Amino acid sequence: MRYLLTCAGTAGHINPAIAVADALKRADPGAEFLFIGSGRELENRLIPAAGYSVENISVSGLERSVGLKALSGHVKTVLRLVKGSRQAASVLRRFRPDAVIGTGGYVCFPVLKAAHRRGIPCYIHESNAVPGLTTRLLADTADRIFTAFPGVEASYRKPDRVMFMGTPVRGGFSELTQREARERLGVGEERLVVSFWGSLGASQCNRCTAEAIVLNEKDPKYRLIHATGKDGYGAFRDLLASLGADPDRLLHAEVRPYIDDMPVVMQAADLILCRAGASTLAELTATGKPAVLVPSPYVTDNHQEKNAMQLVKAGAAVMLRESECSGELLYSTVERLLADDSGLQRMSSCGHAMGVPDSAERIADLVMGDLTVRKEGRTGG
């Protein structure tokens, strides 16, 4: 079988696609794979690093503002879409996939539309609690729509095509126990908190974290591993210095640009502080980690807050809005949660109950099952 996967933009779109490809490869070792991306740095780094080939096509998102600048953006988007559709059709003719799976990003639209016109089975995964624009546009194109959260069928025009599958997570999150992960990191008996606000960082949340680090250095309650985001590392160190803390002599915090060993670090943690991107939430529930969520207010349809509320309602997390957040509030919230062992355990249990650790395998099994039925139908088997 040949599988074409398409995704772009963020790790929240790319990592689920890689997880599904890995599951398909385990189930069908002779399968061939190709990814289509939009040419961004992240997909061109993560996908080849996972052992897969990626080809890029021309595509861009829609302008959501109004005015002459937005009109110019719309024209460019349409021109890129026309070009990207031709490029997608060319890849499909050459690779001849048996199925196409999209996991998010505007690149999914021309690829799945072109595949649908050729009668190729199409699948799309929506990782957020509410369908994004691309998913809404492809609702009539996809043979099946996989969702990250249950009970959201009413958000789609054709709910009979919607299937709750959870969000596929990268490998490695269940390979170590917490104790093994802590030993690998050299963490003793102290409480470990891990914080990250996205691969690029978030300036307001980084400021709150820096203020909380200063408070924790004065009155230590936990050890912190914080990822600033690759673009925020230098500014974060300067911020710590401006607050009176020597970034090279922190006793209870480790500051990194990025957490490359996330499965180990997350497994070792007692509490996670993070945004509410769907892929991150899937990793939280897969590991059963209690969390303090600060949703990004800068995303379409405020979807991160809606994602966060799914965990809050289930008892797996607490939420702080960025507009209300401060270093003092972050520090006191962490202190309160860490002081309640039974509460942390309840949050962990609630998170585990929400998780679908075999999401990738479920999606792979269903796609392969669909293809088998189609093949048997063509051959009269």
Strands 122-126 and 317-319 come out as unpaired
What pLDDT score does 380 carry?
64
* pLDDT one-digit tens code per residue, 289-326: 999 999 999 888 899 999 999 999 999 999 999 999 99
- Judge if pTM exceeds 0.75: yes
Distance, in Å, from the CA atom of 17 to the CA atom of 14, rounded to the nearest integer, reads 5
- Starting at the edge strand that comes first in sequence, how are the strands of the sheet with 32-37 ordered? 54-56, 32-37, 2-6, 99-102, 122-126, 144-147, 162-164
**Do 2-169+357-379 and 178-354 agree at the fold level?**
yes
CA angle 72, 76, 82 (to 5 degrees): 145
CATH class assigned to 2-169+357-379: alpha beta
- Contacts of residue 51, Cβ cutoff 8 Å, sequence gap at least 6: none
Q: Which 8-state DSSP code applies to residue 62?
A: P
* pLDDT one-digit tens code per residue, 235-284: 999 999 999 999 999 999 999 999 989 999 999 999 999 999 988 999 99
- Contacts of residue 337, Cβ cutoff 8 Å, sequence gap at least 6: 271, 290, 292, 318, 343, 344, 347
CATH pick for 178-354 out of 3.90.100.10, 3.40.50.2000, 3.30.420.480, 3.40.50.300? 3.40.50.2000
pLDDT band at 66 (very low <50, low <70, confident <90, very high): very low
Beta bridge partners of 348: none
Please state the domain extents for the chain: 2-169+357-379, 178-354
